[in-house]
């Protein structure tokens, strides 16, 4: 993977019509693209009117489908292979985030990462290794990779919300508890929400929980009148 690969994808400007005071970056799951998660933005934008939403496409074509993108290959699903893929994606994602923040005159304190499935894996891996902590990470239906070496690798401890369907047949529900335990063991503040009856997806209750997390940790995204 070329570490200079630029990322592109859809965006939603702040509902206030002003320059953004916060940046919310949405990372999609494998086989999807930025259009998949930018659909969350309209549900949240009215309550976070000072935030801009970006949903970049993954850096690679999906190698398991004739369409879509990926952050790393899942052809080999051993933890070592998946973490190697994340290590290759890390400088690309960091480069995108650094440029997006610099262009808007914002800092990591104004940034939140929201991921779904592989996007959650990527969001967690990235946020925990950035030199400065972002404001929050919201992870839907994902997992934590790199847990065995997290204690020595961790550079930042942003607050994390994990949401997972109890009937998830793609990423096992147990991944949420495993991630929570490892994160707490590394000193990360973690909240979890289990969704009974939910498969691999995001439901209205999960959207509300994500919004609450973002409003609490990105107050600059909430207008004074909200």
Write down all domains in the chain, each with its CATH number in brackets: 11-217 (3.40.50.1820)
The catalytic site residues sit at 117, 168, 200
In tens, the pLDDT along 39-48 reads 999 999 999 9
Q: What are phi and psi of 222, to 5 degrees?
A: -100, 125
CA distance 15 to 153: 37
pLDDT tens digits for 11-31? 999 999 999 999 999 999 999
Taking CA atoms, 72 is separated from 59, 61, 69, in Å, by: 8, 9, 9
Structure tokens at 80: 């070592």
Residue 161 has pLDDT above 80, yes or no: yes
Residue 224 has pLDDT above 70, yes or no: no
Residue 226: pLDDT band with limits 50, 70, 90:
very low
Q: State what percent of residues in the chain have pLDDT above 70.
A: 97
CA 219 to chain centre: 19
| Residue 188 confidence (pLDDT) above 90 | yes
User: What value does the mean pLDDT take over residues 177-194?
Assistant: 98
Query: Any idea what the Cα angle at residue 37 is, between residues 114 and 132, rounded to 5°?
Result: 25
What pLDDT, on a 0 to 100 scale, did the predictor assign at position 4?
60
Banded pLDDT at 5 (limits 50, 70, 90): confident
Which of 71-75, 101-105, 204-208 shows the lowest mean pLDDT across its residues?
A: 71-75
In the prediction, which pLDDT does 143 show?
97
8 A C-beta contact, residue 31 and residue 60: no
* Mean pLDDT, rounded, for 112-128: 98
At 3, is the pLDDT very low, low, confident or very high (cuts 50, 70, 90)? Answer: low
């Amino acid at each position: 993977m070329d570490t200079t690969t630029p990322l592109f994808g859809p965006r939603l400007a702040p509902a206030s019509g002003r320059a953004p005071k916060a940046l919310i970056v949405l990372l999609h799951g494998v086989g999807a693209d930025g259009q998949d998660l930018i659909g969350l933005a309209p549900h949240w934008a009215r309550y976070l009117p000072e935030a801009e939403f970006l949903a970049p496409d993954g850096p690679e074509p999906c190698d398991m489908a004739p369409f879509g993108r990926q952050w790393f290959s899942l052809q080999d699903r051993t933890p070592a292979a998946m973490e190697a893929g994340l290590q290759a994606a890390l400088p690309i994602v960091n480069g995108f985030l650094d440029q997006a923040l610099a262009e808007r005159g914002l800092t990591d304190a104004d940034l939140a990462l929201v991921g779904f499935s592989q996007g959650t894996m990527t969001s967690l891996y990235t946020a925990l290794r950035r030199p400065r902590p972002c404001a929050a990470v919201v992870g839907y239906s994902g997992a934590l990779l790199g847990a065995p070496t997290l204690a020595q690798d961790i550079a930042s401890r942003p607050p994390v919300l994990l949401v997972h369907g109890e009937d998830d047949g793609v990423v096992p529900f147990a991944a949420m508890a495993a991630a929570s335990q490892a994160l707490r063991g590394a000193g990360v503040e973690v909240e979890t929400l289990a969704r009974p009856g939910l498969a691999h997806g995001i439901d209205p209750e999960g959207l509300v929980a994500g919004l609450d997390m973002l409003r609490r940790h990105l107050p600059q995204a909430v207008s004074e009148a909200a």
